Structure 1
């Protein structure tokens, strides 16, 4: 190992090869600090050429690689196991914007650029990069692509996969795949780009990408709507689609307990309504016509929802400051739940049409199996993605409740599967859900995934133990 580390230092500089325990700690510890792995070293290359050289060294010495961006993942996908036999390859020094083409509406960035920086660079050139996540100040484009991140604007713009036109990848055997083309049509065989997106670093290392940009909206309108049930939320979604069309950007479902937790832990945030409702929706439209047009179509949609008794009440933000406050009610749910205590998280997706039935039937099953457990349900209902989290009953300590995690997971995931849903909508599989995947993927799907892994990473050096 000394010879391997010596050559790593010669390749990228000794200051970028971290072997001391204190220097490795933040890289080895997952985002929620529930698990810490152990790496042989953390290596921090500063260019694609250095990544290429490091992967070639790892092949020579048979050292496995855990690629890492901002380390904001929630499924143990970007941290090593505790064997100490892998290196963490941190890509945060690859943070250059290589090109922006406003005529083609594309931007070419390196994998270590934070999502926030890409958003700001696009904004500076009067363009929109629409991917938006709570961790956007820390997460990186390479991580977003490797996990096929979703976020709040998938309803209109799609997942990260839909926002990417081309990739530069260092393959598992140390070759460079240069696919940095800003083409929206390229029908020349297998889509190699799509193989690497969502692969969580198990097939190769994404080092740069060509991403889609969009014209900045002329106006954005945000509303918070009170509803009696998820069924009413589905009716509102369909009404908004009919009235607003492609301008509908965000449709976030929020249950009453979510708002209760936010107000408990963030008491300075405003209460949109004088009395509580069972559910709420944060709705946003982005309009390319004018401020007046955006206001009119938002008002028309909400007036129709109130007239048809779909909605109980609604408020439209009258300023950017008010819109930001409404968004804070949604964005602080996860933090409020964390402050309340540990919980069992589920990142699931279902056909939007099935969400009301899923929430109703699964809630009853949980109440029977785990009386008084609290279901904290929220998420991107417009694209079918729910964060369906289970907190302990009031008065029950976190540790004893977390011992029920396997049983809770199986109940929830079995219910998801019965509705033809997915146990991972936007966070990936990593190591956390690897065994769960074998329960819900068909034998044919698993076989094909293993064949792809074996073909592209025959030595199993790329993020071993993740996904499959």
Structure 2
């Protein structure tokens, strides 16, 4: 599809096969070809917007007959270019945004079946209205969609209690590259009939098929929540505090986030009306939350826990939210720091994981190495202590020309990854690989793992038409 005539012919053929209602071309395509942060804008031959699983199947068959490839897309909130086309003349975007139905919520079974295009926050609201709870919680939950959550194995702030998206999925419905449908929407908790095929598609970023519907676990509602922000002497003390919280608060601990002092500066740059909840300045901060229902007194548990660790001077200062509004205000600092970084311009965003026992050591070594290599930068390290997941971001000095900025960001990434490798860590804790991290992934993947992934890909998608260029070096024929 190298010339304009062929491109128009292919687009016309898609419209003829699928109907004008399902196919967008021309200027309408642009918003589907821009990444979440607006850093990258590409293009696509067309955008297909199915309304049903049958539509998806028909679309896949039509695209294959034209020798094109497909980039599946949910809410397009990913951070690694996994849903951003990179061959505009040979790729179509298939958006699930019209497939938003919650097919059923089963209160007695504690399960639901939801279509892939349903926005996460809207699904959570419907589950709550039914008297249940879906625990996945992301900053982008007002825009991200369930299918994308599955395809990226989304994480978020509640992973330490409820696990990644993989732990919440009971079954999947997937349209395969030949247009057939894998019907696997079982809600059984225990089903040991051989290989669990749904696991192949969770985290695959649309490279093996298109998730069209998901069966998920639901839980009893969390009726009581206690949120606290505390100041500590070091990140090492935050690790010690987490160890105590896991012992004393047990599985009621749902979030445990660490932040540096600069987080509050960045948050107030994005949200000037935020009031600092703690009067002193401390080298490290932890935002923690416990929740439960029934006969457990969550507020008393948080109060007694913090009294104990403050008596031992593990925690130097702290505040417990006395209302939902105050709890929301505390979480705004965690969310606002990301907006503050974005307001300062392009910067390195990382998503790393290391063994929890070595998290503080990794942050110290990485920040020291980056500052030595790039003394004019600002390091911002924060993340999910309970998961060993740290976002070590690097902000360059303002005003760098584009070429110098690109070199700066590449250098920062290389320095951090070199340290990460010595810790046996992962370059992607929760964001996936996509196109952005593919080179770093391929440089580190063992030959046996690469061979297995290649065998799976070729077995399921022999024409290599599903999201080529994502994760591994597969391109359509």
Give the TM interval when normalised to the shorter protein.
over 0.9
1:180-219 to 2 correspondences below 5 Å:
180-219=185-224
Q: Secondary structure at the match of 1:403?
A: helix
Q: 2:353 aligns with which of 349, 354, 359?
A: 349
Specify the alignment match of 2:384 in structure 1.
380
1:411 equivalenced with 2:415 (yes/no): yes
Root mean square deviation, CA, Å: 1.5
- Aligned-residue offset at 1:135: 0.7
Q: 1:15 aligns with which of 21, 37, 47?
A: 21
Q: Secondary structure at the match of 1:214?
A: coil
Q: 1:222 aligns with which of 223, 227, 240?
A: 227
- Residue deviations 1:78-122 (CA, integer Å, cap 9, x gap): 010144210000111011110111111001000000001110010
Specify the alignment match of 1:171 in structure 2.
176
* CA shift in 2, pair 1:268/1:399, >3 Å: farther
- Aligned-residue offset at 1:10: 4.3
Does the CA contact (< 8 Å) of 1:222 and 1:285 recur in 2?
yes
- Residue deviations 1:216-240 (CA, integer Å, cap 9, x gap): 0220100001112110000110010
1:316-331 to 2 correspondences below 5 Å:
316-331=320-335
Specify the alignment match of 2:3 in structure 1.
none
What is the CA–CA distance in structure 2 between the aligned matches of 1:397 and 1:288, rounded to whole Å?
54
- Aligned-residue offset at 1:396: 5.4
Specify the alignment match of 1:271 in structure 2.
276
1:155 equivalenced with 2:132 (yes/no): no
Specify the alignment match of 1:97 in structure 2.
102
Q: Secondary structure at the match of 2:77?
A: coil
My pick for the range that moved more, 272-281 or 129-138, is 272-281
What is the CA–CA distance in structure 1 between the aligned matches of 2:80 and 2:443, rounded to whole Å?
17
1:436 equivalenced with 2:440 (yes/no): yes
Specify the alignment match of 1:338 in structure 2.
342
1:114 equivalenced with 2:119 (yes/no): yes
Specify the alignment match of 1:30 in structure 2.
35
- Aligned-residue offset at 1:163: 0.6
1:135-154 to 2 correspondences below 5 Å:
135-154=140-159
- Aligned-residue offset at 1:408: 1.6
What is the CA–CA distance in structure 2 between the aligned matches of 1:393 and 1:70, rounded to whole Å?
32
Moved over 6 A (4+): none
- Residue deviations 1:343-395 (CA, integer Å, cap 9, x gap): 11111111111111001111111111111311111111111111110001467
What is the CA–CA distance in structure 2 between the aligned matches of 1:12 and 1:218, rounded to whole Å?
47
What is the CA–CA distance in structure 1 between the aligned matches of 2:359 and 2:272, rounded to whole Å?
30
Does the CA contact (< 8 Å) of 2:154 and 2:431 recur in 1?
yes
Does the CA contact (< 8 Å) of 1:219 and 1:290 recur in 2?
no
What is the CA–CA distance in structure 2 between the aligned matches of 1:397 and 1:156, rounded to whole Å?
44
- Aligned-residue offset at 1:414: 2.0
- Residue deviations 1:187-223 (CA, integer Å, cap 9, x gap): 1111111100000000000000001100002201000
What is the CA–CA distance in structure 1 between the aligned matches of 2:17 and 2:109, rounded to whole Å?
37
My pick for the range that moved more, 320-329 or 8-17, is 8-17
Does the CA contact (< 8 Å) of 2:270 and 2:337 recur in 1?
no
What is the CA–CA distance in structure 2 between the aligned matches of 1:333 and 1:185, rounded to whole Å?
41
Consecutive unaligned residues in structure 2, runs of 5 or more: 1-5, 473-477
| Alignment size in residue pairs | 466
- Aligned-residue offset at 1:253: 0.8
What is the CA–CA distance in structure 2 between the aligned matches of 1:9 and 1:58, rounded to whole Å?
11
Does the CA contact (< 8 Å) of 1:146 and 1:198 recur in 2?
yes
- Aligned-residue offset at 1:3: 5.8
Does the CA contact (< 8 Å) of 2:116 and 2:211 recur in 1?
yes
- Aligned-residue offset at 1:405: 2.1
What is the CA–CA distance in structure 1 between the aligned matches of 2:89 and 2:340, rounded to whole Å?
35
- Aligned-residue offset at 1:16: 2.5
- Aligned-residue offset at 1:304: 1.6
- Aligned-residue offset at 1:290: 4.6
- Aligned-residue offset at 1:174: 1.3
- Aligned-residue offset at 1:15: 2.8
- Aligned-residue offset at 1:289: 3.3
* CA shift in 2, pair 1:396/1:8, >3 Å: closer
* CA shift in 2, pair 1:167/1:445, >3 Å: same
* CA shift in 2, pair 1:62/1:398, >3 Å: closer
Consecutive unaligned residues in structure 1, runs of 5 or more: none
Q: Secondary structure at the match of 2:328?
A: helix
Specify the alignment match of 2:460 in structure 1.
456
